[in-house]
Each structure stands twice: as C-alpha cells, then as structure tokens.
C-alpha cells in the first residue's frame, strides 16, 4: 500500500511518494511539466535520446 503524497505549496510540480515501509521515495512528475504545451518531448538517458509522446487517445508512448 502506498501512502498519500505529502502536501506541497501550490506551484510545486514534483511530489514524492513513499513506499509503505518508508524506505524508498519515487518522484512523481506531471507530464505537462516535461512536455509543456506540446505533445512530445525528448528525454536524454545515458547519451541516448528517447521520445515521450501523448497519443490521440491521450496515452503516453516512450520510444527510442
């Protein structure tokens, strides 16, 4: 079971969810803060480019 995320002041787009045992935190980021007003963004990971896209059905696709 995951606990409720902590409350942050408005405007803070990143929150942390703690695992039930409290040992791990996982960042939670609104996709709009990555993509902005568009429908896709490029994410770099270890020098590789990945494309995050919002589909016509409002789903997310991450491709290399």
Higher-confidence position of 55 and 27: 55
Query: pLDDT category, 4, cuts 50, 70, 90?
Result: low
CATH code for the domain in which residue 32 is found: 2.10.70
pLDDT at 59: 96
Residue 32 in domain: yes
Q: Would 7 be classed as within a structural domain?
A: no
- Tally of domains within the chain: 1
In a domain? residue 26: yes
Tell me the three state secondary structure of residue 3.
Answer: coil
Residue 51 lies in a domain: yes
Host domain of residue 28: 14-63
Per DSSP (E only), the strands in 1-64 are 14-18, 25-29, 40-45, 48-54, 60-63
On the question of pLDDT at 55 being above 70, the answer is: yes
SS (H, E, C) 6-23: CCCCCCCCEEEEECCCCC
Enter the pTM of the model.
0.60
Which residues does 15 contact at the CB level (< 8 Å), separation at least 6?
5, 6, 8, 27, 28
């Amino acid at each position: 079971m995951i606990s409720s995320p902590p409350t942050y002041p408005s405007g803070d787009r990143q929150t942390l969810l703690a695992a039930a045992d409290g040992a791990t935190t996982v960042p939670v980021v609104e996709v709009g803060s990555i993509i902005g007003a568009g429908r896709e963004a490029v994410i770099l990971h270890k020098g590789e480019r990945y494309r995050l896209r919002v589909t016509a059905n409002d789903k997310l696709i991450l491709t290399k």
